[in-house]
Structure formats: structure tokens, C-alpha cells
Amino acid sequence: MGKQRDPDRYPEQLRDSAFTVKGDEPLSKKPISVRLYQSDDDQLRPLGKEMAVFIRAAVREKLERG
């Protein structure tokens, strides 16, 4: 396994860029972007930072279903 990242040790201006999540599997090194319909975006924006977690979980669920 790779080196564990500790976002608390990063300078404050870099903490939002520390791509870490709770769990065993690291995030991909190459991020992707997802274009949403405006109505979907309007529902997801209020989630704030949890929006990314929700989208990752939704994509994983869809991939597992096939």
C-alpha cells in the first residue's frame, strides 16, 4: 500500500486539494468530471462537500448492478 496522507498536516491552502476518503480504497489519480442536468445539480448542490461522496456511491452502485 502507498503512503497514508494526513490532510491535517497540509498547509491550510492545500487541505481542500487533499484527495482522501475514509475507507480502504484510495481515490483515482485521474479525476473525471460529470455533467449533470440542471435539475439534478439543483438537488445536489445543497449537499456541499457530501455531494462528491453521494456521486461516488451512486456510480459504484450503478456499476455493481451492471
For the stretch 23-57, pLDDT in tens is 677 777 788 898 999 999 999 999 998 999 899 99
Please, which residues have CB within 8 angstroms of residue 5's CB and are 6 or more apart in sequence?
Answer: 18, 20
| Model confidence, pTM | 0.60
The sign of the torsion formed by the CA atoms of 16, 18, 23, 25 equals positive
Confidence at 64, pLDDT banded by 50, 70, 90: very high
Sorted by sequence, the CB contacts under 8 Å of residue 26 that are 6+ apart come out as 2, 20
